[in-house]
Amino acid sequence: MPAPPLPRFSERLHDARTATAVGRWLGLGVLVCFLTGLVSHGVQTPPGWLAPLLPTRPVWGYRVTQGLHVACGIALVPLLLVKLWVVYPRLFVWPPVRSVANALDRLSIAVLVSAALLEVLLGLTNITQWYPWPFPFKPVHWALAWVLAGSLLLHVGVRLGLVVAGWRRVAGDPVEADRRSLLRGMGAGVAAVTLTTVGQTATPLRPLNLLAPRDPEPGTAGTTQGLPINRSAAAAGVDAAELTSPDWRLTVVGEREERLSLGALRALPQHTERLPIACVEGWSASAEWTGVRLSDLLRRVGAAEGASVRVVSAQRSGGYRVMEMPAGYVRDPLTLLALRVNGEVLSLDHGFPARIIAPNRPGVWQTKWVARIEVLR
């Protein structure tokens, strides 16, 4: 069969060696995203065997892994665009399939490319808190991560020869100089998107933060008391009158049940700790928290050493209303029921009258507007 009038491409920079050179960086970015994603999944929704093993040190551990996840995720945008530009002429090869093996290979690449584009698009919309999809983010992002990892492994495995050859120098390669320019341009693209966003978690780069959706810089819209507000009291639909009423009580349930007023909480020994909030969406900020040690509160109601707890927010609905805290965080002296942040009484938006702050835990589990703490075992 004669070929239809397909577009023709000069070989320059659309060659396998260039695809491999770009692919190395792309593969590294995907690997970092995959591994840090596994960490996020494990820390946020640990299976039963893992929950007691989760470390509370370093206190900034999740801040680093999730900051890296979102930073590498953003860097994947220029990397993916360059990679697709290098290889897109392959869409037009004739004949489109040469054998069964070739058909399967091309099919697996279709899966790889779709999964990569979708994974990145989902991640980007999620960090801007825009949810245009009819499905929930997390389970889809999680499943796609495995599809992507599997199809990438297959893709690299099938081309192992080319990938290995790509590391070897070729004398007199006429494309070498152009390829180096392309990689430099790609590097500049990565640097640009990284430097203008990573300040949302890497404090010294805050002044460059032009594109990040959240900015912990005081004075920025949506930031008070030195912390961005992830979901305001109004957005969470909490009853401000109830939370600020003198009749407000915190219920703590163990062997006994106690109901403590805000005055009673303030009369207990207060501790001040510097701990970060590390949002799963990639921003983070450290703050100085003052309040009651969770372990002190639990000792008052006769909780056993090694207990885990359930924390219930005054928020009426939503995914963060109920939180379970494994024993390791519960017994940690840094885990506080915080009443103050950065020297001020918590604002309603930051969880007044009392919120949880625990070391090395994702922001989603730093429950605000705590109403009830129950010992589980």
Residues contributing to the site for Mo ion (CB under 5 A): 230, 279, 363-364
Q: Which is nearer to Mo ion, 209 or 230 (CB)?
A: 230
Q: How far is it, in rounded angstroms, from Cα 36 to Cα 234?
A: 32
Q: How far is it, in rounded angstroms, from Cα 30 to Cα 153?
A: 11
Q: How far is it, in rounded angstroms, from Cα 72 to Cα 127?
A: 13
Q: Which is nearer to ligand HEM, 30 or 163 (CB)?
A: 30
Site residues for ligand HEM per CB under 6 A: 30, 33-34, 37-38, 40-41, 44, 69-70, 73-74, 76, 119-120, 123-124, 126-127, 138, 141-142, 145, 148, 280-282
Residue 62 CB, nearest approach to ligand HEM (Å): 11
**Residue 360 interacting with ligand MTE (CB under 6 A):** no
C-alpha distance from residue 51 to each of 10, 15, 54, 330 (Å): 55, 48, 6, 12
C-alpha distance from residue 13 to each of 16, 89, 181, 190, 365 (Å): 8, 11, 10, 19, 47
Report residue 108: phi and psi, to 5°: -65, -30
Q: Which is nearer to ligand MTE, 84 or 364 (CB)?
A: 364
Residue 33 CB, nearest approach to ligand HEM (Å): 4
Candidate list 27, 123, 213, 228; residue touching ligand MTE; CB under 6 A: 228
Q: Which is nearer to ligand HEM, 124 or 195 (CB)?
A: 124
Q: How far is it, in rounded angstroms, from Cα 25 to Cα 167?
A: 13
Q: Does an H or E element contain 289, and which? A: strand 284-293
Q: How far is it, in rounded angstroms, from Cα 193 to Cα 188?
A: 9
Report which residue's Cβ sits closest to ligand MTE.
363
- Binding mask 242-281 toward ligand MTE (x if CB under 6 A, else -) reads -----------------------------------x-x--
Candidate list 368, 371, 373, 375; residue touching ligand MTE; CB under 6 A: 368
Collapsed DSSP state (helix, strand, coil) of residue 316: coil
- The residues binding ligand MTE (CB under 6 A) are 227-231, 236, 277, 279, 313, 315, 318, 320, 350-351, 363-364, 366-369
